């Protein structure tokens, strides 16, 4: 077994773990599109028809033949005969000929013969059934053509895409009300320690309620997994091995919290080693918080031992658990970070933050609006105020909007310096 606390850099440790995992999950299920937000597509989705299916106006105005407006201006307007109004939600019953126009509303279907739409504010009524056009329009102006958004048969969403509100709307526009998505990644969560009790219990002196299983369950859900709770295991190596083996047989990933420090009572590494080859890959990450993190792979499945301190467990959940779920879902991962893109903002630090060279630090920060607004160069719209606290204080992290990464080659960040904040 590797010696404890070899302290690999986080990126190197994550890459090592991901390299030992099985291929992305192939199992899929058919679900209603309305419930597909955040799910990952299991196959390419093709457009069954063009979108839009008919030419539509993008403004309120008059449908015209473009050539009938050429040369029109305030001082020399064109005059067109008004022959009707396009019904909303219906097909026009008439066709435009030379010198004619029709009233049309946003989203209305262009009548045959029409090539463009003149905006209402660029026209006025001259005489009954005659419209004054005070601006020329080009063919296709203020119009969405057939298939301009999507052509029939076009791949609109590729396999391995996490669905956002825009994709949900696009699928509904195409009448795709059901689709195949990758089944959720089952993540088994095991809490260990004689001092840990369920949140519903009243702890005795010396006991603490289980926080980690529930923060990590929420994180697993957020990133597309299904949390499977295996409860609290006492400080008994046989019980931990049995529970971990059952979780590994039933889940795609297993997480064990606590039991990962240098104490002789800690059994996580021994339990992981008993589950299969290669076993423990990394025993110690050169980061703060969360140095005593254990990364293992057993029969192609990730088994991760996280520290018992709630802040450490959750921060390292973002660093290691989330990328594992993303890989198993088939999401494209950045080669340098080993994870999918994370939402972030640039902010300027309110105080100096020291750091130890050679160690990667993650600092919880609260974001405050900058009193001077956006700074020169497009950065600094926000101020980042560090929240200092020990790694067993969960509300330190609950009060934060994001995490500031201080890379290992830096000795800190100076007040006023712009930095990227990963949003929680």
| pLDDT band with cut points at 50, 70 and 90 for residue 2 | very low
Distance CA 68, CA 135 (A): 11
pLDDT-based confidence at 424, cuts 50/70/90?
Answer: confident
Does residue 179 contact residue 35 with C-beta atoms inside 8 Å? no
Q: Strand 178-182 relative to strand 185-192: parallel, antiparallel, unpaired? A: unpaired
Q: What percent of the chain has pLDDT over 90?
A: 70
Could you tell me the two tokens for 292?
Answer: 């005593």
Q: Which pLDDT value is given to residue 376?
A: 47
Neighbours of 185 (CB within 10 A): 24
Give the separation between CA 6 and CA 284, rounded to whole angstroms: 6
Is 201 a residue whose pLDDT tops 50?
Answer: yes
In whole angstroms, what is the distance from residue 383 CA to residue 368 CA?
A: 5
Q: What is the per-residue pLDDT across 236-270, written as a single tens digit (0 to 9) for each? A: 899 999 999 999 999 999 999 985 555 534 789 99
What would the pLDDT profile of 130-188 be if each residue is shown by its tens digit? 999 999 999 999 999 999 999 999 999 999 999 999 999 999 999 999 999 999 999 99
Does residue 393 carry a pLDDT above 90? no
Give the pLDDT score at 371.
79
Q: Residues near 187 by Cβ (< 8 Å), separated by ≥ 6?
A: 216, 220, 225, 226, 227, 228, 251, 252, 253, 254, 255, 321, 325
What is the DSSP pairing of strand 123-127 with strand 116-119? unpaired
Average pLDDT, the chain: 91
Model pLDDT, residue 262: 55
pLDDT at 364 over 70: yes
Residue 271 makes CB contacts below 8 A (sequence gap 6+) with: 237, 240, 241, 244, 256, 259
Task: Give the pLDDT of residue 398.
Answer: 85
- Of 331, 333, 283, nearest in space to 303 by CA: 283
- Write down the pTM of the prediction: 0.86
Separation of alpha carbons 412 and 404, rounded Å:
11
Task: Please give the backbone phi and psi of residue 224, each rounded to the nearest 5 degrees, phi first.
Answer: 105, 20
pLDDT at 3: 46
Three-state secondary structure of the chain:
CCCCCCCECHHHHHHHHHHCCCCCCCCEEEEEHHHCCCCEECCCEECCCCECCCCEECCCEEEECHHHHCCCCCCCCEEEEEEEECCCCCCCCCECCCCEEEEECCCCECCECCCEEEEHHHEEEEECCEEEECCCCCCCCCEECCCCCECCCCEEECCCCECCHHHHHHHHHCCCCEEEEECCEEEEEEEECCCEECCCCCCCCCCEECCHHHHHHHHHHHCCEEEEEEEEECCCHHHHHHHHHHHHHHCCEEEEECCCCCCCCCCHHHHHHCCCCEEEEEECECEECCCCCEEEEECCEEEEEECCCHHHHHHHHHHHHHHHHHHHHCCCCCCCCCCCCCCEEEEEECCCEECCCCCEEEEEEEEEECCCCCCCCCCCCEEEEECCCCCCCHHHHHCCCEEEEECCCCCEECCCCEEEEEEC
Residue 391 pLDDT grade (very low, low, confident, very high; cuts 50, 70, 90): low
Going by their DSSP bridges, the two strands 130-133 and 78-85 should be labelled as antiparallel
Give 89's contacts (C-beta < 8 A, 6+ positions apart). Answer: none
Residue 415 and residue 397: Cα distance in Å, rounded?
Answer: 21
Phi and psi angles of residue 335, each rounded to the nearest 5 degrees, phi first: -65, -30
Is a pLDDT exceeding 90 seen at residue 292?
A: no
> Mean pLDDT, to the nearest integer, of 124-133?
92
pLDDT in tens, 62-102: 999 999 999 999 999 999 999 999 999 999 999 999 999 99
Please state the rounded mean pLDDT for residues 352-372.
87
In the structure, what pLDDT confidence band is assigned to residue 377 with cuts at 50, 70 and 90?
Answer: very low
Please say if the pLDDT value at position 23 is more than 50.
yes
Q: Residue 26: what pLDDT?
A: 81
Tell me what the mean pLDDT of segment 203-207 comes to. Answer: 88
What confidence tier does 350 reach under pLDDT thresholds 50, 70, 90?
Answer: very high
Flag whether pLDDT at 1 surpasses 80. no
Q: What whole-number distance in Å separates Cα of residue 218 and Cα of residue 225?
A: 9
- Cβ distance 41 to 158 under 8 Å? yes
Residue 181: Cβ-neighbour burial (10 angstroms; 0-12, 13-18, 19+): buried
Full set of structural domains in the chain with CATH: 10-27+184-329 (3.40.980.10), 29-47+156-182 (3.90.105.10), 56-144 (2.170.190.11), 344-423 (2.40.340.10)
């Amino acid at each position: 077994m590797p010696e404890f606390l070899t302290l690999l850099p986080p990126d190197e440790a994550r890459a090592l773990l991901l390299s030992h995992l099985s291929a992305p999950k192939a199992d899929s299920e058919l679900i209603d599109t309305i419930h597909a937000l955040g799910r990952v597509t299991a196959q390419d989705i093709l457009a069954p028809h063009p979108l839009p299916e008919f030419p539509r106006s993008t403004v309120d105005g008059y449908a015209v033949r473009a050539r009938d407006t050429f040369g029109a201006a305030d001082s020399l307007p064109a005059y067109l005969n008004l022959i009707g109004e396009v019904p909303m939600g219906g097909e026009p019953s008439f066709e435009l000929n030379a010198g004619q126009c029709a009233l049309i509303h946003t989203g209305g279907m262009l009548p045959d013969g029409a090539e463009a739409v003149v905006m209402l504010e660029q026209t006025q009524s001259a005489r009954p059934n005659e419209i004054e056009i005070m601006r020329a329009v080009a063919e296709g102006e203020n119009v969405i053509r057939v298939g301009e958004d999507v052509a029939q048969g076009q791949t609109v969403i590729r396999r391995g895409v996490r669905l956002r509100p825009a994709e949900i709307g696009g699928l509904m526009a195409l009448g795709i009300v059901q689709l195949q998505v990758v089944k959720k990644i089952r993540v088994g969560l095991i809490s260990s320690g004689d001092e840990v009790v369920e949140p519903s219990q009243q702890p005795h002196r010396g006991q603490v309620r289980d926080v980690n299983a529930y923060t990590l369950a929420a994180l697993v859900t957020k990133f597309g997994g299904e949390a499977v709770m295996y409860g609290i295991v006492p400080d008994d190596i046989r019980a931990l091995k049995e529970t971990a083996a059952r979780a590994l047989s039933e889940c795609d990933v297993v997480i064990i919290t606590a039991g990962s420090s240098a104490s002789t009572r800690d059994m996580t590494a021994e339990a992981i080693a008993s589950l299969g080859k290669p076993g423990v890959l990394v025993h110690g990450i050169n980061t703060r918080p969360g140095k005593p993190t254990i990364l293992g792979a057993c029969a192609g499945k990730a088994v991760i031992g996280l520290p018992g301190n709630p802040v450490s467990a959750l921060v390292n959940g973002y660093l290691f658990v989330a990328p594992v779920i993303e890989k198993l879902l088939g999401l494209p991962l950045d080669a340098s970070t080993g994870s999918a893109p994370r939402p972030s903002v640039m902010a300027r630090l309110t105080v100096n933050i020291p750091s130890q060279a050679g160690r990667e630090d993650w600092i919880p920060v609260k974001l405050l609006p900058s009193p001077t607004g956006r700074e020169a160069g497009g950065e600094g719209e926000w101020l980042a105020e560090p929240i200092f606290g020990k790694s067993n204080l969960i509300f330190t992290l609950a009060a934060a909007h994001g995490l500031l990464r201080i890379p290992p080659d830096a000795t800190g960040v100076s007040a006023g310096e712009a930095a990227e904040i990963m949003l929680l």
